[in-house]
Amino acid sequence: MKKIISIFVMVLAFTLTTNAQDKMMKDSKVKTLSLEQTTGEFTQKALTVSEGTYIFEVANNNVGTDVGFVLVPKGKDASKPENHIKTAYVTSVVKDGETQTSNKTKLTKGEYVYFCPLNKTPQYTLIVK
């Protein structure tokens, strides 16, 4: 009887661990948002996505200068770095003809603005539903 109980406990523990790992894998799916900059603008003028974790991939399509990426919750002063979502910054400036990515950035429901301070783009809207 003790053997049966021990086996049952081991199977139950394995099942719970497997289910927890499966849930973590589903929750940790990271999506990539690809953005392209040309001289003075992003080619993507607005984005709508669902809540989740994203990596921003920014391409420099021969802008003639290095480019970057800034993401700010809408309504916050975008000129103040303390309002920037720092994980969304590309990990290094994007040189002509190159592509760089950000770190993982968790986006929750709401509106954000994105822009490039180096390429002097307008601010564009990112909506998270």
Instruction: Give pLDDT, residue 34.
Output: 98
The enclosing H or E element of 66 equals none
pLDDT, averaged across the chain: 87
Largest Cα–Cα distance in the chain? 76
pLDDT tens digits for 36-77? Answer: 999 999 999 999 999 999 999 999 999 999 999 999 999 999
Q: From the CB of residue 23, how many other CB atoms can be counted at a distance below 10 Å?
A: 10
Burial (0-12, 13-18, 19+ Cβ within 10 Å), 89: buried
Kindly report the pTM of this predicted structure. Answer: 0.78
By the 8 A CB rule, do 97 and 60 touch?
Answer: yes
Domains of the chain (ranges, CATH numbers): 30-128 (2.60.40.420)
